[in-house]
């Protein structure tokens, strides 16, 4: 389905719809029964953000991330996080070249367009922090030099719930850099039967071919940034963000970065749904994926490891309490 003749410039709405549909269909060929989850991941890509996929082991987190990565004709790397990993294992390291008597930088796996950070919470916060600059500014500073990362650049991180053994809680600064937090959930009966009966098993990922080039993704991202957002809808987004700072059960609300993330995520989901404008329904739909990992609630004695379900419930409560603009 790859079409090298597609223009690299920002596409028209019809072309954008075709490109998104091709990407969705490609991922659905290996990740069954979770169209809404796939749409959220595509929205994260179009919104130039990063995605945290959190759920119990064996639910398909890595398959989803790899399905998206393999659908793009861009560089891809996978980092399997472990407790003994060092920041240099991610960023890279300078090595002395005896022939020139100078140091040569060997780039780490972060220098790829799509980076799968698998089980990110199995490495200590010191190593997790190696991703902060990359995720926020799309470049890496090492040995006094700043090196740009490719465009597009996206981190797809997976993690098991924090209560599992051998995991470390992600710092608030790290969580805030993810545009979306996505839960997968168990598949329905029909999808699980398809998974069981699939003869090729995990080898199905090897058959996934790219449907979009890096230039086409960048064009879609530029198109997404131009999606119209009415002033009343922008004010609706802001009201939700500010309400997280005033809720009785929230210890720490979303920052202005959260407001910006909600704005960009709503633009992206509008494109996924074939529109060039944002509706209040987009805001209600994206509020929990954007906000639930950015708030610190007071339950459990202020423990940030409060269940994701509880945080999402509070965000939905806030959304339902704010009048929807007409």
127: left (phi over 0), alpha (psi -120 to 50) or beta: alpha
- Three-state DSSP state, 236: helix
Q: Distance (Å, rounded) from C-alpha 291 to C-alpha 237?
A: 11
Q: Distance (Å, rounded) from C-alpha 275 to C-alpha 228?
A: 9
Query: Can you tell me the mean pLDDT for 264-287?
Result: 96
pLDDT digit string (tens) for 40-57? 999 999 999 999 998 888
Q: Distance (Å, rounded) from C-alpha 256 to C-alpha 241?
A: 8
State residue 100's pLDDT score: 81
State residue 89's pLDDT score: 92
CATH class of 9-221: alpha beta
State residue 54's pLDDT score: 87
State residue 12's pLDDT score: 75
pLDDT bucket at 6, cuts 50 / 70 / 90: very low
87-91, 140-144, 165-169, 273-277, range with the lowest pLDDT: 165-169
- Three-state DSSP state, 189: helix
State residue 217's pLDDT score: 95
State residue 1's pLDDT score: 39
113, pLDDT greater than 50: yes
SS (H, E, C) 42-105: HHHHHCCCCEEEECCCCCCHHHHHHHHHHCEECCEEEEECCCCCCCHHHHEEEEEECCCCEEEE
pLDDT digit string (tens) for 257-271? 999 999 999 999 999
What mean pLDDT is reported for the chain? 87
CA distances to 94, 103, 114, 136, 271 from 144, rounded to whole Å, are: 11, 13, 25, 18, 40
7, pLDDT greater than 80: no
State residue 3's pLDDT score: 45
CB 283 within 8 A of CB 240: yes
Neighbours of 59 (CB within 10 A): 19
Q: What is the largest CA-CA distance in the chain?
A: 70
Percent of the chain exceeding pLDDT 70 equals 91
pLDDT digit string (tens) for 179-236? 999 988 888 898 888 888 876 656 777 788 899 999 999 999 999 999 999 999 999 9
Domain locations in the chain as residue ranges? 9-221, 227-326
| CATH number of this structure's domain 227-326, picked from the four choices 1.10.8.80, 3.50.50.60, 3.40.50.720, 3.30.479.30 | 1.10.8.80
Q: Which two tokens stand for residue 316?
A: 């939905």
Neighbours of 291 (CB within 10 A): 28
pLDDT digit string (tens) for 17-41? 999 999 999 999 889 889 999 999 9
Per DSSP, which regions of the chain are E strands?
A: 51-54, 72-73, 76-80, 92-97, 102-107, 114-118, 139-142, 145-148, 154-159, 180-182, 212-213, 250-252, 296-297
8, pLDDT greater than 70: no
State residue 5's pLDDT score: 42
Strands 180-182 and 212-213: unpaired
Task: Tell how many helices (H) and how many strands (E) occur in the chain.
Answer: 14, 13
Query: Can you tell me the mean pLDDT for 47-72?
Result: 89
| Bigger pLDDT: 96 vs 118 | 118
Q: Distance (Å, rounded) from C-alpha 156 to C-alpha 224?
A: 20
């Amino acid at each position: 389905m790859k079409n090298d003749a597609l223009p690299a410039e920002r596409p028209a709405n019809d072309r954008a719809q075709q490109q998104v549909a091709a990407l969705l269909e490609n991922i659905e060929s290996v990740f069954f029964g979770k169209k809404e989850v796939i749409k959220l991941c595509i929205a994260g890509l179009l919104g130039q953000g990063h995605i945290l996929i959190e759920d119990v082991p064996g639910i398909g987190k890595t398959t989803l991330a790899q399905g998206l990565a393999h659908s793009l004709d861009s560089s891809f790397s996978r980092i399997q996080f472990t407790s003994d990993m060092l920041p240099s294992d991610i960023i890279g390291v300078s090595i002395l070249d005896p022939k020139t008597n100078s140091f040569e930088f060997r780039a780490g796996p972060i220098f790829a367009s799509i980076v799968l950070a698998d089980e990110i919470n199995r490495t200590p916060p010191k190593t997790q922090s190696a991703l902060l600059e990359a995720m926020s500014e799309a470049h890496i500073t090492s040995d006094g030099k700043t090196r740009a990362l490719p465009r597009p650049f996206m981190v797809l991180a997976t993690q098991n719930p924090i209560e599992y053994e051998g995991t470390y809680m992600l710092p608030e600064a790290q969580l805030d850099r993810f545009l979306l937090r996505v839960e997968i959930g168990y598949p329905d009966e029909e999808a699980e039967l398809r998974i069981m009966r699939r003869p090729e098993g995990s080898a199905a990922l090897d058959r996934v071919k790219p449907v979009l080039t890096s230039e086409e993704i960048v064009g879609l991202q530029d198109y997404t940034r131009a999606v119209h957002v009415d002033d009343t809808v922008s004010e609706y987004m802001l009201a939700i963000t500010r309400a997280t700072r005033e809720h009785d059960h929230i210890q720490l609300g979303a920052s202005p970065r959260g407001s910006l993330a909600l704005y960009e995520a709503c633009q992206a989901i509008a494109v996924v749904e074939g529109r060039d404008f944002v509706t209040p329904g987009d805001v209600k739909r994206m509020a929990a994926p954007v906000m639930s990992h950015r708030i610190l609630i007071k339950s459990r004695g202020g423990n940030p490891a409060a269940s994701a379900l509880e945080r999402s419930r509070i965000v939905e409560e806030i959304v339902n309490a704010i009048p929807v603009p007409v």
